[in-house]
């Protein structure tokens, strides 16, 4: 069973006014924001805080224990009783693997879900983990007789909890983001998570050269909210998203819809980084109503950034453009410095210009996730 968002998802109807130069060849890109993951010992408040947080952020809430029960068709207690803890851990691993990609969820993890290193790797790949803690006596008071917790059921639940806390102490302490829930209300703890998450918002840098400089935003999952970042730069209209047949079919439409832009899809690959492609792009920009005061949004890897950036430098003697790189190489090379070019049969990058973008929005999520797929 894989976690997914529910009815809160945006209507994904494609925007109008689109031009496609070639049929899509498929591709992969994850534009969803990172998950916020709550972990910690039993009784630390993960589910209660998680539901408050999900409501405050208007995000789907995902409870790994509930997902395990749905997958098994029985309660956690029944799984332990009828099949044993090992069966529970196998299902838990399957659920954690489904959390390995950012999906904009608020997740409550079972108290032992991240005992396995592989489970932890999956969950951390998809989001940021907050470890909720409280003093043992507070946890004991919250849990009562522990009847609904299989590992605490039976005689002396308090003693069982203390032993469990000691056995997992090094695991819980290994997470850098720690929050004490013992003396705060669930709403106050949710506020602390929100405050910390905001401090982890995209890094904002300012490139000073070429003049007049431009803003670089760097973070996880920020392509999903690119519209708000673009509005901060006060870019001119009309806007046209230029992507390629790898990235465009999946997420170019979503970006175009978010910012009210047209969409042009170029063929993907170095073989198409040439003047003939740029000539086709000029015609498509005219069809989209692009004007001297408009903005080109280049969404893709290094070849796309180079090609679309060169078109922006030369169309109507130069229009503003934004680089939205989706690969690590494009982030550190093609989108920085404003060096844009296309190839000739005699060699690479022989026709080009220096035309810095108005803004760079670099989402680390796609490149990290792609690396994990290798």
More confident position, 363 or 371: 363
Residues 6+ apart with CB under 8 A from 154: 160
- DSSP string computed for 276-290: HHHHHHHHHHHHTT-
Q: What tokens were used for 34?
A: 């990172």
Tens digit of pLDDT for each residue in 314-343?
A: 999 999 999 999 888 888 888 888 899 999
The better pLDDT of the pair 240, 81 is held by: 240
Q: Is the pLDDT of residue 15 over 60?
A: no
Is residue 290 within 8 A of residue 240, CB to CB? The reply is yes
Query: Tens digits of per-residue pLDDT, 123-174?
Result: 988 888 999 999 999 998 888 755 567 667 667 778 888 998 999 999 999 9
d(CA 322, CA 312): 10
Residues 6+ apart with CB under 8 A from 35: 62, 99, 102, 103, 104, 105, 106, 107, 123, 126, 127, 128
Q: Give per-residue pLDDT as tens, 72-102.
A: 999 988 998 899 999 999 999 999 999 988 7
For the chain, give the mean pLDDT.
84
Task: Check residue 96 and give its pLDDT.
Answer: 95
Give the lowest-confidence range in 41-55, 97-111, 115-129, 221-235: 221-235
- Structural domains of the chain sorted by starting position, each given as residue range(s) with its CATH number in brackets: 35-196 (3.40.50.300), 201-373 (3.40.50.1970)
């Amino acid at each position: 069973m894989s976690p997914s968002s529910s009815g809160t998802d945006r209507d994904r109807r494609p925007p109008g006014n689109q031009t496609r130069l070639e049929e899509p060849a498929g591709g992969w890109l994850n534009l969803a924001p990172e998950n916020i993951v709550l972990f910690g010992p039993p009784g630390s408040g993960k589910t209660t805080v998680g539901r408050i947080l999900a409501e405050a952020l208007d995000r789907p809430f995902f409870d790994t224990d509930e997902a395990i029960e749905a997958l098994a068709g029985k309660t956690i207690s029944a799984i332990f009783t009828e099949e044993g803890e090992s069966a529970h851990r196998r299902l838990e691993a399957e659920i954690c693997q489904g959390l390995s990609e950012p999906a904009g969820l608020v997740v409550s993890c079972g108290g032992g879900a991240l005992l396995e290193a592989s489970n932890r790797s999956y969950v951390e790949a998809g989001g940021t983990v907050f470890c909720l803690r409280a003093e043992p006596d507070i946890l004991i008071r919250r849990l009562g007789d522990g009847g609904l917790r299989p590992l605490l059921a039976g005689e002396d639940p308090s003693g069982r909890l203390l032993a469990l806390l000691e056995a997992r102490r090094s695991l819980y302490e290994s997470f850098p983001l720690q929050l004490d829930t013992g003396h705060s209300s669930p709403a106050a703890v949710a506020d602390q998570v929100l405050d910390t998450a905001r401090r982890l918002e995209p890094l904002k840098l300012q490139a000073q050269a070429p003049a007049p400089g431009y803003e670089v935003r760097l973070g996880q999952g920020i392509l999903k909210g690119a519209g708000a970042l673009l509005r901060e730069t006060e870019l001119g209209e009309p806007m046209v998203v230029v992507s390629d047949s790898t990235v465009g079919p999946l997420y170019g439409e979503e970006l175009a819809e978010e910012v009210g832009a047209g969409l042009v899809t170029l063929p993907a690959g170095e073989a198409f980084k040439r003047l003939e492609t740029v000539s086709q792009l000029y015609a498509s920009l005219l069809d989209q109503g692009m004007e001297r005061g408009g903005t080109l949004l280049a969404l893709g890897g290094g070849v796309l950034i180079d090609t679309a950036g060169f078109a922006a430098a030369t169309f109507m003697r130069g229009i503003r453009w934004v680089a939205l790189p989706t690969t690590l190489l494009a982030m550190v090379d093609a989108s920085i410095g404003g060096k844009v070019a296309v190839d000739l049969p005699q060699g690479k990058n022989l026709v080009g210009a220096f035309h810095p973008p108005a803004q760079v929005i670099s989402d680390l999520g796609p490149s990290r996730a792609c690396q994990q797929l290798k």
